[in-house]
Structure 1
Amino acid sequence: MPLGVNGGITENNLSAYLLAPVNSTSYISLDAGTLHAGIEQAIAAKTFEAPAEVVLRRYIKAYFISHPHLDHLAGLLLNAPDDTAKTIYGQPACLETIQTHYLNWASWPNFGDAGAPPALNKYHYQRLTPGAETPVVGTSMSVRVFPLSHGKPYESAAFLVRNQAAYVLYLGDTGADAVEKTEKLHYLWQEVAPLLKTHKLKGIFIEVSYPNEQPDSQLFGHLTPRLLLQELANLGQFSGAEALRNLPVIVTHLKPTGDNKARIQQQLQRANNLGLKLIFPEQGQRFLL
Structure 2
Amino acid sequence: MRVDGVDSANAGAFPPLKPPAFQIIVLGSGGGPNEDNVTGLLVRSTATNWAKGSVLAVDAGTHLAAVIKIFQDHLPEAVPAAPSDFTVSTSNRTVRPRASSGAAQGSRSLRHATSELNNNGGSTPSQQVDGASAQCLTTGPFADLEVPFESVKANAAYFMRNLISTYLITHPHLDHISGFAINTASFQHTSRPKRIAALPSTIDAIKTHIFNDVIWPNMSDEDGGVGFVSYMRLVEGGNIQFGDGESRGYIEVCDGLAVKCWSVSHGQCMRKHRGHGSGSGNTHEAFNEAASRRASQHAISPIGTQAGQGYADIMRPVESSAFFLRDDHTGNEVLIFGDVEPDSVSLSPRNEQIWSDAASKITHGLLTGILIECSYDNSQSDETLFGHLAPRHLIAELKVLAEKVKTLHRASTPTAVETPLPQRKRKRLSNGLKIHEEMETRTGRRGRTPSQTGRKTRRSTVSPATPASLVGEDFPAKDLSFDIPESINETRGGENGVRGAPLEGLQVIVIHVKETLKDGPEPGEVILTQLEQGAREEGLGCSFSISKARTSIWL
Distance 1:190 1:138, change over 3 A: closer
Structure with bigger strand share is: 1
What is the correspondence of 1:183-202 to structure 2 with a 5 Å cutoff? 183-202=349-368
Partner of 1:69: 173
Aligned match for 1:249, one of 508, 511, 535 = 508
Match of 1:175 in 2: 341
User: 2:553 is paired with a residue of what secondary structure?
Assistant: coil
1:19-58 residue pairs with structure 2 within 5 A?
A: 19-24=43-48, 25=50, 26-43=54-71, 44-45=73-74, 46-48=140-142, 50=147, 51-58=155-162
DSSP 3-state at the match of 1:203: strand
Displacement of 1:134 in angstroms is 4.3
CA RMSD of aligned residues (A): 1.5
| Structure 2 counterpart SS, 1:58 | helix
User: Partner residue of 2:220?
Assistant: 112
**Mapped contact 1:80–1:111 kept (Cα < 8 A):** yes
Partner SS for 1:264: helix
Partner SS, residue 178 of structure 1: coil
Q: Which moved more, 1:144-153 or 1:268-277?
A: 268-277
**How far apart are the structure 1 equivalents of 2:174 and 2:63?**
13
Cα offset, 1:277, TM superposition: 2.0
- Residues 1:129 and 2:226 are matched in the alignment: no
Post-superposition Cα deviations, 1:149-208, rounded to whole Å, max 9, x if no partner, equal 000220100011111311111110000001113331111111121001111013111000
Q: In the alignment, what sits opposite 1:89?
A: 197
2:528 to 241, 258, 265: 265
Question: CA shift at 1:248, angstroms?
Answer: 1.1
State the distance in 2 between where 1:197 and 1:102 align. 41
What is the TM-score with the length of structure 1 in the denominator? 0.94
Query: Does the Cα contact within 8 Å between 2:27 and 2:549 map onto a contact in 1?
Result: yes
In the alignment, the residues of structure 2 paired with residue 151 and residue 250 of structure 1 have an alpha-carbon distance, to the nearest angstrom, of 22
Q: CA shift at 1:56, angstroms?
A: 1.1
2:253 corresponds to 1:149 = no
Aligned equivalents of 2:256 and 2:141: distance in 1?
Answer: 22
- SS, match of residue 547 in structure 2: coil
Q: 1 CA distance for matches of 2:263 and 2:553?
A: 27
Between the aligned partners of 1:138 and 1:260, the Cα distance in structure 2 is 34
Q: Among residues 379, 382, 400, which one is paired with 1:234 in the alignment? A: 400
Say if 2:337 and 2:372, in contact at 8 Å, map to a contact too.
yes
160-169 or 19-28, which moves further after superposition?
19-28
Question: Unaligned regions of 5+ residues in structure 2, if any?
Answer: 1-24, 75-139, 148-154, 240-248, 269-316, 407-493, 495-500
> Which residue of the other structure, out of 325, 328, 331, is the alignment partner of 1:161?
325
Question: Distance between the aligned counterparts of 1:7 and 1:137, measured in 2?
Answer: 25
271-280 vs 105-114, greater mean Cα deviation? 271-280
**Residues 54 and 243 of structure 1: CA distance in aligned 2, closer, same or farther (over 3 Å):** farther
Which residue is equivalent to 2:383? 217
Alignment of 1:12 with 2:36, yes or no, is: yes
2:203 alignment partner AA: L
1:191 counterpart SS class: helix
Cα deviation for residue 102 of structure 1 reads: 0.4
Retained in 1: the 8 A contact 2:368–2:505?
A: no
| Greater Cα shift, 62-71 or 255-264 | 255-264
Deviations 1:8-51 (A, max 9, x none): 11111110111111143211111111101221233215322542
Match of 1:103 in 2: 211
Work out whether residues 2 and 38 of structure 1, in 8 Å CA contact, stay in contact via their aligned partners in 2: no
- Shift in Å, 1:275: 2.1
Structure 2 counterpart of 1:98, one-letter code: I
- Count the aligned residue pairs: 287
More displaced 10-residue stretch of structure 1: 277-286 or 238-247: 238-247
Rounded to whole Å, the distance in 1 between the matches of 2:158 and 2:548 is 22
The separation in 2 between residues aligned to 1:38 and 1:271, in whole angstroms, is 33
